[in-house]
Amino acid sequence: MRDRRCDRYLDLMKNEHQFWQDLARTINPGWAVRVDPLSNNPSGNTLAGKDVFIYVVDVANAWFGAGALLSSDAPKIATWANDQLAAESSILTVGSLNTADVAGKAIALCGALGADAADPEVGAAVSMTTAALQATQTYARAVPANRQRSESDMAGHWIYLAYRTRNGQGIITRPVWVSTVHPGIGRAGRFLDPSDLMQLVRTVVQSETTSSQTMVGRALAADGGAIVSPKILTY
């Protein structure tokens, strides 16, 4: 017979999870926000207990998604994502898939659908992005900076831009990292202020779509340029 105390505990955890998710959506209107209790650590089941914040952006549609997790869960997510891709590659016999490509396509799909936080596509996009970020040069630079402050390797705010190119050949992604101690912006235990996030996104997008000085800028120019939502350009 099932223990009623266990049922009550599970109900409390479910209600607390829903409370934090609703709060995150209220603070950040217009975002598809997920606060998933991925860890067995009780403090990981609240927004305040998270130290990694992921923001996924479909530049063409100005669609924003966000997720919060514990840094200690990031390696497990990367393992899950790579296992999924390895299985998919063997089924499709298309060669090796990489998390950056799949994450970009997942974000673009969410943007095209106008996905809500409850949609499984958002969870897949955030999870694949979490894995993709760990293979970037941005992550390689963030880790030692975090360790100097005795923070977890992936601690901070991570923005992942997905650009659709005008020639329709693919999705180009761009990671951005903001530490939890960034003056006036970064803070642990909460999402970035929407206005700060939009300003960061606009600055990066304008820079990369008007100049070929960066690797992403050159890739976009070579593929006919990026499709950019007026909402981002006019923010």
The pLDDT tens digits for 108-135 are: 999 999 988 778 888 889 988 999 999 9
What distance in Å separates the CA atoms of residue 188 and residue 155, rounded to the nearest whole number?
A: 8
Which tokens in the block code for residue 235? Answer: 């923010």
Q: Enumerate helices (H) and strands (E) in the chain, giving the number of each.
A: 8, 5
Predicted TM-score (pTM) of the model is 0.81
Number of structural domains the chain divides into = 1
What distance in Å separates the CA atoms of residue 112 and residue 106, rounded to the nearest whole number?
A: 10
- Give yes or no for a contact between 131 and 27, defined as CB atoms under 8 angstroms apart: no
Q: What is the edge-to-edge ordering of all strands in the sheet holding 171-178?
A: 32-35, 63-69, 52-58, 156-164, 171-178
CA distances from 119 to 90, 175, 203 (A): 27, 23, 29
- The three-state DSSP-derived secondary structure of 12-58 is HHHHHHHHHHHHHHHHCCCCEEEECCCCCCHHHHCHHHCCEEEEEEE
**pLDDT tens, N- to C-terminus, the chain (235 residues):** 444 443 443 343 344 445 445 545 554 556 666 655 444 444 445 666 788 999 999 999 999 988 888 888 888 888 888 887 777 766 555 555 788 888 999 999 999 999 887 788 888 899 889 999 999 999 999 999 999 999 999 999 999 999 999 987 789 999 999 998 776 776 767 888 888 889 999 999 999 998 877 889 899 999 899 999 999 987 6
| Chain Cα centroid distance, residue 62 | 14
Which domain does 226 fall in, by range? 4-233
